[in-house]
Amino acid sequence: MNMKKTIQINQANLREIGNTIPVPNYNRTSKKIGIVHIGVGGFHRAHQAYYLHQLKQQDKASGWNICGIGLREPDSNLHDIFKKQDHLYTLLVKHPDGKIEPEVIGSIIDFEMGTTNQEAVIARMANIDTKIVSLTITEGGYNFNATTGDFNFENSNIQHELKNPNEPITVYGFLTAALKRRRENGLPAFTVLSCDNIEHNGNMMRKMLLAFAEAQDAALAKWIAQKVSFPNSMVDRITPMTTKADIETLAQTYNVKDEWPVTCEPFIQWVIEDNFSNGRPELEKVGVQFVPDVGPYEKMKLRLLNAGHSVLGLLGIIHGHPTINACMEDETFVTYLRAFMDKEATPILGNIKGIDLDNYKDTLLQRFANPNIKDSVHRICMESSAKLPKFLIATIHENLATGGSIKFATLVIAAWCYYSDKGMDSHGNAIEIVDAMSTELYQAAKQTETNPLAFIRQESIFGNLIENERFTKLYTEAIQKIYTDANIKKHMLDIL
């Protein structure tokens, strides 16, 4: 085997790495941080951190450095790797024609763990230089009750934080502790910028944070309501999970030793409401769109892209397709996806100013088909209990209200039930289910054979769908079909 010498990615080696791949051209010695970001997953690193990196490449004086924050124990892995790598990492942009564009990203300059160093995180957010606290805490991180839409005070971490304001655990405990300190120190509030796949993500965060703050300190809640802005935003870039093969490719082809690079597709989009309480970077210089109302863009993306992913993911995992692009090589899946998009998602979107929906859908199909991305269906199916209410079930509810088609989405819900119940594909291969509600999902799904509607009785996910006869009839038929014969493609063809 060719044992080439690899260069460890870090600040000291940047010049040498720069001979092979692009590296930051800006000074990274400033310790000034303008953005504190909670939830530094692959997505943040391929998206927001990349935008900021591009801005800094253009405007070397830009002070907008990022400090990452981890609030979950597993984040300590990235924290430790980042420490060795001076918070540098490689982004590998994978094109459909096989071309890979690697680039070293330098916009993150620090990382703190909220699990072990609460004070450092609060101090960082309360620092005068911090203008924005941005979030990718996933759909599940917002802690709302899906039935009522209200803040979930039953969460034990929330109860702990309310009793012990100096021992924050969740995003809510940290944000209020930091905002309290800023208020006491006479500093302006920061903007809270939500970057999760939730419709009206900023409004949602505002509602949840105010509910929490109100229960903790009513005067603080009032100050937050007046001073903190919560712009809504739509974020987009397909970012699969990093694999061992990605790490090896980087070492073999580019001689770079990076323990946690990120891979992504070429497409990138960020649409934000221009509502920042304490200043913002000039992101429009690098292609970010600032609009007065992001609602239609968010809805379009969630109900077409994210829902489309779930349609392919849940049907694909049962069929045995490993990746989204493998689904897209299967004509039945492509036709089914397009039919779902055209007949169920598009009618509820209406006209979106400046957007050609047909063109948007065509582009989505091309993005999903990118053979280089290899986005696993497993990633897509993870945390479906938090995703589907926003991506797919909302569409079913809306189509039920207007008399629109629901058959394509209904089969997907039945497939989700089968997947939660059996934990295997149609060939009997085991599937690992990763979901905060996996136990509840399994408990409900396993009753299906005796009680076909058991799964959709879970109100926190499905709301009152169980009461709708048109839905329950179609759903029961779909369940009978799948449980009689798990050949999902046959049932997809039946519907088409």
Min dist. Cβ of residue 260 to ligand CS2 (A): 18
> Considering only 31-39, 232-240, 248-256, 440-448, which stretch makes contact with ligand CS2 by CB under 6 A?
232-240
Rounded CA-CA distance 56/130 in Å is 17
Shortest reach from residue 389's CB to ligand CS2, in Å: 13
Q: Restricting to residues 137-166, name those near ligand CS2 by CB under 6 A.
A: none
Query: Should residue 197 be labelled a site residue for ligand CS2 when binding is judged by CB under 6 A?
Result: yes
Residue ranges in 42-101 that form contacts with ligand CS2 under rule CB under 6 A: none
CA gap 444, 458 in Å, rounded:
8
Does 265 bind ligand CS2 (CB under 6 A)? Our answer is no
* Choice from 45, 53, 56, 237 touching ligand CS2 (CB under 6 A): 237
In whole angstroms, give the CA distance from residue 380 to residue 337: 15
Distance CA 16, CA 8 (A): 10
Contact string (CB under 6 A) for ligand CS2, positions 374-413, x = contact: ------x------x--------------------------
d(C-alpha 194, C-alpha 206), whole Å: 10
Stretch that binds ligand CS2, among 182-190, 235-243, 347-355, 426-434 (CB under 6 A): 235-243
* Integer Cα distance of 115 and 70 in angstroms: 8
* Residue whose entry in the numeric block shows the structure tokens 């929906």: 357
**Going by DSSP bridges, is the β-strand pair 35-38/289-291 parallel, antiparallel, or unpaired?**
unpaired
Distance (Å, rounded) from C-alpha 103 to C-alpha 14? 11
325 is an interface residue for ligand CS2 by CB under 6 A: no
> CB-hemisphere CA count at 13 Å for 203?
10
Q: State the minimum distance, in angstroms, from the CB of residue 34 to ligand CS2.
A: 24
Among 113, 125, 238, 256, binds ligand CS2 (CB under 6 A): 238
| Three-state secondary-structure class, residue 116 | coil
CB of 217 to ligand CS2, least distance (A): 35
- Please, which residue, 236 or 298, has the CB nearer to ligand CS2? 236
101 conformational bin, left if phi > 0, alpha if psi -120 to 50, beta if neither: beta
Contacts of 117 (CB under 8 A, 6+ apart): none
Say if residues 236 and 287 touch (Cβ distance below 8 Å). no
Return the range that interacts with ligand CS2 (CB under 6 A); candidates 83-91, 234-242, 282-290, 444-452: 234-242
Is 491 one of the binding residues for ligand CS2 (CB under 6 A)?
no
| Binds ligand CS2 (CB under 6 A): choice among 180, 309, 390, 397 | 309
Residue of 85, 306, 372, 448 interacting with ligand CS2 (CB under 6 A): 306
- Applying CB under 6 A, the site for ligand CS2 has a residue count of 8
Provide the minimum distance between the beta carbon of 307 and ligand CS2 in the complex, in angstroms, as a whole number: 8
Which CB, 375 or 421, lies closer to ligand CS2? 375
Work out whether the CA dihedral 256, 258, 264, 269 comes out positive or negative. Answer: negative
Which residue(s) pair with 450 in the sheet? Answer: none
Question: In the bound complex, what is the minimum distance in angstroms from residue 309's beta carbon to ligand CS2?
Answer: 4
Q: Is 364 a residue that touches ligand CS2 (CB under 6 A)?
A: no
DSSP for 268-316 reads -EEEEES--TT----GGGGT-EEES--HHHHHHIIIIIIHHHHHHHHHH
CB nearer ligand CS2, residue 301 or residue 481: 301
Question: Which positions lie near ligand CS2, rule CB under 6 A?
Answer: 197, 236-238, 306, 309, 380, 387
